[in-house]
């Protein structure tokens, strides 16, 4: 009994001594590091960790209570992860950091590489560190100096760390190419384009755009009086009702709109509501000028058959030719050297030909006047008033189509009417001449009759005198 008590006391002393002393296992057991509680030394043996099949990096999975610092060797190659801070790295050593299992593989431990700015740290099979995620802070990417910046608001800057828009490019006194944007395509089937899209609503619930909505544009600004100022732009506005594909295009210079192509294709220069294919309002200045150092040819036509052709041939004569018929032949030509005006009048070009009638009475209703234009008070000119002519000869009047247009006259169209009026007057003259000749003959006959009557009267007087002279006195004849 005493011997049993002796062995028990020796065991207790041995355990107590071991609990308080340093322990070394392996080679050189007498030499131990002063800072270690347990040291393992060997030149040909290793430390074998417990083999545990972990299911996920965020589940403890061992017996007992989870404790930080626990190390195991995971034998499950299919380990999964539900938290990007604890990525699964297949089989290998893991330690519990108090919240999850962290792989000890190179680059996988979050303690070795800290994740920040919304980035996650992961390990791939190539042994590299992978970064990915959403940037939550301003982030600069520098290559040979500061070059790119990702702002915390989603803006991206090139050449600036304070981008004020989704894409801001700054060239701070660099070369000309440092502020260029180039899109290159190497393909026979694709075309590089810049697309500006406009919608109402939100990304989750998009809506059709409303009439008058800007579809996008390109602005050209410049620094003036100490700040950036809007100068020119090209911009498009929607002109439909949300279901029709209608838009216009506007060109602005010096902060003023200069040209507009409306939704029907009409082009306005100096006017915002063009009524024609080309509508130019030059105001008080010159609306259009075409100048060329050599021969000048300006042609407006339709499939080379209709239009206006202005040209200066190589010779000395210059002409203004109007072509407006299906044959393509000129319908009118003005020779700018001689001043001669010619017009096509071939019967083969005409149809629905009717003789003009009853012109003289209508011509008599016209009121020729003299006048001066309000813009030229010094020049007095003869002419007619278009509104008055419209009541008598409406086919020679050009009526305005808009409030900005004015009445005009085809003065050359009066020529056929004047010819017809002359013909009608000539008929009247010939009739009057015939009547006058007839009356003249009748007057001559009356004159002859008058002379004959006078002769007869004289003869009768002579006869009466002779009878008086030969009648005896006292006769009845004498008394009578």
Per-residue pLDDT for 466 more than 90? no
Per-residue pLDDT for 418 more than 80? yes
Q: What is the pLDDT of residue 251?
A: 96
Least confident interval from 12-21, 179-188, 451-460: 12-21
Per-residue pLDDT for 224 more than 60? yes
Least confident interval from 32-41, 187-196, 263-272: 32-41
Per-residue pLDDT for 197 more than 90? yes
Q: What is the mean pLDDT of residues 435-462?
A: 92
Give Cβ neighbours of residue 41 (< 8 Å, ≥ 6 apart). Answer: 24, 25, 26, 27, 28
Q: What is the pLDDT of residue 47?
A: 86
Q: Please, what sign has the CA dihedral across residues 448, 449, 454, 456?
A: positive
Total-model pTM: 0.45
What pLDDT digit, counting tens, does each position of 32-63 carry? 888 888 888 888 988 888 999 999 999 999 99
What pLDDT digit, counting tens, does each position of 88-114 carry? 989 999 999 999 999 988 554 444 455
State the pLDDT confidence band at 338, using cuts at 50, 70 and 90. confident
Q: Which residue has the higher pLDDT, 367 or 463?
A: 367
Cβ-based burial of 323 (10 A; exposed 0-12, middle 13-18, buried ≥19): buried
Q: Of 365, 420, 360, 414, which Cα lies nearest the Cα of 388? A: 365
Name the pairing type of β-strands 156-158 and 167-169: parallel
Percent of the chain at pLDDT exceeding 90: 47
For residues 95 and 102, the answer to whether their CB atoms sit within 8 Å is yes
Q: What is the pLDDT of residue 68?
A: 92
What pLDDT digit, counting tens, does each position of 376-403 carry? 999 999 999 999 999 999 999 999 988 8
**Token representation of residue 105:** 């593989």
Give Cβ neighbours of residue 213 (< 8 Å, ≥ 6 apart). Answer: 198, 200, 237, 238
Q: What is the pLDDT of residue 125?
A: 44
Q: How many CB atoms lie within 10 A of CB 393?
A: 20
The partner residues of 269 in beta bridges, in order of sequence, read 259, 280
CA distance 160 to 168: 8
How far apart, in Å, are the Cα atoms of 50 and each of 95, 150, 449?
Answer: 12, 46, 168
Q: What is the pLDDT of residue 279?
A: 92
Q: Of 64, 124, 115, 63, which Cα lies nearest the Cα of 90? A: 124
Per-residue pLDDT for 74 more than 50? yes
Backbone angles phi, psi at 441, to 5 degrees: -65, -40
**Token representation of residue 101:** 């299992």
What pLDDT digit, counting tens, does each position of 139-159 carry? 666 665 556 777 767 788 888
Q: What is the pLDDT of residue 15?
A: 45
How far apart, in Å, are the Cα atoms of 63 and each of 90, 92, 100?
Answer: 22, 20, 15
């Amino acid at each position: 009994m005493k011997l049993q008590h002796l062995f028990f006391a020796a065991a207790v002393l041995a355990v107590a001594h071991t609990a308080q002393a340093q322990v070394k296992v392996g080679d050189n057991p007498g030499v131990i590091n002063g800072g270690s509680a347990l040291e393992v030394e060997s030149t040909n043996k290793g430390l074998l960790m417990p083999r545990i099949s972990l299911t996920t990096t965020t589940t403890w999975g061992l017996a007992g209570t989870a404790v930080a610092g626990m190390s195991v060797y995971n034998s499950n190659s299919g380990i999964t992860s539900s938290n990007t801070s604890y990525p699964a790295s297949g089989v290998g050593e893991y330690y519990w950091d108090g919240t999850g299992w962290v792989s000890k593989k190179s680059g996988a431990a979050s303690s070795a590489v800290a994740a920040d700015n919304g980035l996650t740290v992961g390990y791939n099979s190539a042994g590299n560190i992978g970064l990915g995620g959403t940037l939550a802070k301003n982030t600069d990417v520098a290559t040979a100096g500061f070059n790119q910046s990702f702002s915390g608001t989603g803006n991206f800057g090139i050449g600036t760390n304070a981008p004020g828009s989704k894409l801001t490019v700054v060239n701070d006194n660099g070369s000309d190419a440092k502020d260029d944007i180039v899109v290159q395509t190497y393909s026979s089937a694709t075309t590089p384009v810049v697309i500006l899209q406009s919608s109402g609503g939100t990304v989750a619930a998009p809506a059709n755009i409303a009439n008058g909505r800007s579809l996008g544009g390109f602005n050209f600004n410049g620094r003036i009086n100490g700040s950036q100022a809007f100068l020119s732009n090209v911009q498009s506005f929607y002109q439909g009702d949300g279901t029709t594909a209608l838009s216009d295009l506007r060109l602005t210079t010096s902060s003023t709109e200069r040209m507009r192509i409306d939704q029907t294709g009409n082009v306005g220069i100096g006017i915002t509501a063009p009524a024609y294919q080309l509508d130019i309002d030059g105001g008080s200045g010159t609306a259009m000028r075409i100048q060329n150092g050599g021969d000048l040819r300006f042609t407006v036509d339709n499939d080379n058959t209709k239009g206006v052709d202005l040209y200066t041939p190589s010779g000395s004569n210059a002409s203004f030719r109007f072509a407006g018929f299906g044959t393509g032949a000129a319908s009118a030509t003005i020779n700018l050297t001689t001043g001669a005006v010619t017009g096509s009048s071939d019967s083969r070009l005409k149809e629905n030909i009717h003789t003009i009638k009853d012109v003289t009475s209508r011509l008599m209703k016209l009121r020729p006047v003299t006048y001066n234009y309000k813009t030229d008070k010094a020049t007095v000119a003869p002419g007619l008033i278009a509104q008055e002519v419209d009541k008598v000869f409406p086919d020679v009047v050009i009526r305005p189509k808009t409030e900005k247009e004015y009445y005009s006259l085809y003065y050359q169209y009066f020529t056929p009417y004047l010819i017809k009026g002359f013909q009608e007057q000539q008929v009247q003259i010939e009739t009057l001449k015939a009547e006058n000749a007839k009356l003249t003959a009748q007057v001559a006959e009356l004159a002859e009759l008058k002379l004959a009557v006078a002769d007869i009267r004289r003869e009768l007087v002579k006869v009466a005198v002779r009878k008086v002279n030969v009648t005896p006195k006292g006769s009845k004849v004498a008394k009578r």
